[in-house]
Amino acid sequence: MKRMVMSALCVLGAMLACYGQEKTLFNEIYYLLDPIEGTAQVTETPKAYGDLVIPSEITVGTRTFRVTEIGEKAFKGNKNLEAIVIPSSIEHIYRNAFDGTGLMKNKTFWEDGVLIIDSCLIATSKDISAKYEVPEGVRLIAAGAFENNKTVTRVILPEGLKEIDHDTFKGCKNLEKVNIPKSVLHLGEDILTGTAIYADEARWKRGSLIVDGCLLKTNEAIKSKYTFSAKKPVRLIASGAFKDNKTLVSIVLPDSLWEIPAGAFMGCTELHEAVIPQTVTKVGMYAFYGCERLTTATLPTTLESLGAWAFYGCLNLEQQVLSDNLKGVPLGCFSMCRKFKHIQLPKEAERIDDGAFYGCSQLEDINFPNTVEYLGEMAFAGCQTLFKVEVPYAVTQIGKGCFKDCNRLYGMVLPEGLYSIDDEAFMGCLMLEKINIPKDLFRIGKNAFANCQMLARLTMNEHVHIIEKGAFVHCIKLTELSLPKELETLGEGAFEQCINLRKVYMNDRLEKVGDRAFATCRSLQEVKMSKSLVSIGKSAFAECKNLQKVDWPDSIEEIGQEAFFNCIKLQTPDVSGIKVGKNAFKNCR
């Protein structure tokens, strides 16, 4: 599954950059948090040493997260890590998690060629017996635990085993027999690839490899319209079981399933229809990733968990109704669904995560329940037919690029409690005509409204403290501007190229006008400066060719290079005692 994660992230990596999941340090261990599921994954922790205890849950801020995974290479190379306690909450241990650690090298932890820690089978060696019976009580087999082991010919797995992660027996070319107990709840990808079982053509039926009611893999011999046999119900599908299968056109999943695992149908580019039974409560990450022709995949009303990127790139999927059991829309879930028009959100959704609807160019409307608290980065970026949005009152921050390039968005209602409009939040919203800045807003980020070419009315509240670089660059319809009374930072190029801006009124707290803040505002005629103004940045009013009237405060100490360059109607003021940059008033009267 980790392999699929890394390849898929490359698609939006430049914009979403490992998106949404920052490293969080808690008691000397790093974690990745999933806010929607309320879970945490132990991630690369390069300085782990001694005897380490992984907790079953961690508290970050006001939230508690259940620790469910030990990620790929989590402790790799930590030679001084001598022992570890793995809690029962751990459901997955990914590849190379403990490679090169002291506990892997400590022979006292190994028995009969097998390393088992806290009921988790971590690794095997060539000293294992050819017929190996996994001890009772083992509940989890880590990814790649038996990989490339040439000794084993048969493995007996115990009842009570819950998880078999990906690549478990991969490359065990002499493995001829293995059982999958009924207690197993999850099967990773490529469990038997490269084994004698996998190579035995007699084991494959109708293009699928099924062991003890578990479908592990399919090939091109599968029927294009595949319906599972009711006589031999399949209770589990392995991660990536249908991955990259170009034969499959439609599939009817059996009522015996409770989960569609990670990457199950990833890259099935010919798949048109998937009938999902109501028994399914979980759809894993990347489940239908890249199913370009998929038009129908109705999610069950009973669904309790929906994974990140589940429907990424389903170009022909038009709509979806989400179960009210869900807490939000996860990372990249419907990203690049270009024909996606309608979505019914869960009644108590709390989050629309990063990139959730990125590139849904035909999404027409979005009705948020009042419970939504978070709108993530790039969540609706590129939704070109989205025309009106009312942001719920509980939202305090609009994420970076959240509505970027929604070029038909003309109506936007912002909640009174909004604290920050992040970088590029509304950048390129060409039709946005007016915006009322809420009373509690503190910050307007970089390029937040850049290139909003129809924005003519901008009502600022008194409490905005920060307007970042390029916040309103190229807002060509703005004609008059009164800066907030509490504004302290006016960033570089904040109103650059606002070519119809005629009047600017500053507050009396602003001490510095940033570089190019009003450059090329060629209609600008009048500026009332702040009484506290100390510094005017480089090219701050360059090329403002109609600027005639400026109220010069006594507080000014520095005027930057080319600050009023080519302001041909402006009379040069008395600058005695002021530090003046080169060409500050070149071509002025």
- For 453, half-sphere exposure in the C-beta direction (CA atoms, 13 angstrom radius) is 6
Hey, is 24 helix, strand or coil? strand
User: Among residues 165, 187, 209, which one ends one of the domains?
Assistant: 187
Structure tokens at 118: 């806290």
Total structural domains in the chain? 2
Q: Is residue 108 part of a domain?
A: yes
Work out the average pLDDT over 401-408. Answer: 96
- Sorting pLDDT into bands at 50, 70 and 90, what band is 14? very low
Structure tokens at 458: 């901008």
What sign has the CA pseudo-torsion 84, 89, 93, 94?
Answer: negative
Q: Is residue 494 part of a domain?
A: yes
Q: What does the pLDDT read at residue 18?
A: 41
Percent of the chain clearing pLDDT 90 (strictly above): 88
Q: Is residue 71 part of a domain?
A: yes
Asked whether residue 476 carries a pLDDT value surpassing 50, the answer given is yes
Q: Is residue 33 part of a domain?
A: yes
Work out the average pLDDT over 27-48. Answer: 93
* Higher per-residue pLDDT: 140 or 507: 140
Cβ neighbors of 408 (< 8 A, separation 6 or more) are 384, 385, 386, 387, 430, 431
Please write the tens of the pLDDT for every residue from 351-394: 999 999 999 999 998 999 999 999 999 999 999 999 999 999 99
- Sorting pLDDT into bands at 50, 70 and 90, what band is 60? very high
Q: What does the pLDDT read at residue 261?
A: 97
pTM: 0.90
Asked whether residue 17 carries a pLDDT value surpassing 70, the answer given is no
What's the CA gap between 365 and 342, in Å, rounded? 7
User: In this structure, what CATH number is given to the domain that contains residue 566?
Assistant: 3.80.10.10
Percent of the chain clearing pLDDT 70 (strictly above): 96
DSSP state of 176: -
Q: What does the pLDDT read at residue 16?
A: 42
Residue 4's H or E segment, with its range, is helix 2-16
Q: What does the pLDDT read at residue 7?
A: 41
Asked whether residue 1 carries a pLDDT value surpassing 60, the answer given is no
Q: Is residue 371 part of a domain?
A: no
Asked whether residue 523 carries a pLDDT value surpassing 80, the answer given is yes
Asked whether residue 21 carries a pLDDT value surpassing 70, the answer given is no
- Sorting pLDDT into bands at 50, 70 and 90, what band is 19? very low
User: Among residues 154, 171, 187, which one ends one of the domains?
Assistant: 187
Q: How far apart are the first and last CA of the chain?
A: 69
Hey, is 203 helix, strand or coil? helix
- Sorting pLDDT into bands at 50, 70 and 90, what band is 6? very low
Asked whether residue 15 carries a pLDDT value surpassing 60, the answer given is no
Q: Is residue 229 part of a domain?
A: no
**What helix, strand, coil percent values describe the chain, rounded to 5?**
5, 25, 70
Asked whether residue 570 carries a pLDDT value surpassing 90, the answer given is yes
Q: What does the pLDDT read at residue 513?
A: 96
Structure tokens at 117: 């820690």
Please write the tens of the pLDDT for every residue from 232-279: 789 999 999 999 999 999 999 999 999 999 999 999 999 999 999 999
Q: What does the pLDDT read at residue 107?
A: 87
- Sorting pLDDT into bands at 50, 70 and 90, what band is 460? confident
Work out the average pLDDT over 402-429. Answer: 95
Work out the average pLDDT over 426-430. Answer: 97
Cβ neighbors of 164 (< 8 A, separation 6 or more) are 141, 157, 180, 184, 186, 187, 188, 191
Q: For residue 463, how many other CB atoms are within 10 A of its CB?
A: 16
Q: What does the pLDDT read at residue 12?
A: 47
Task: Work out the burial of residue 573: count CB atoms within 10 Å of its CB; fewer than 13 is exposed, 13-18 middle, 19 or more buried.
Answer: middle
Q: Is residue 384 part of a domain?
A: no
Domain that holds residue 539: 479-589
Asked whether residue 5 carries a pLDDT value surpassing 70, the answer given is no
Please write the tens of the pLDDT for every residue from 171-188: 999 999 999 999 999 999
Work out the average pLDDT over 121-142. Answer: 97
User: Among residues 187, 206, 221, which one ends one of the domains?
Assistant: 187
Q: Is residue 203 part of a domain?
A: no
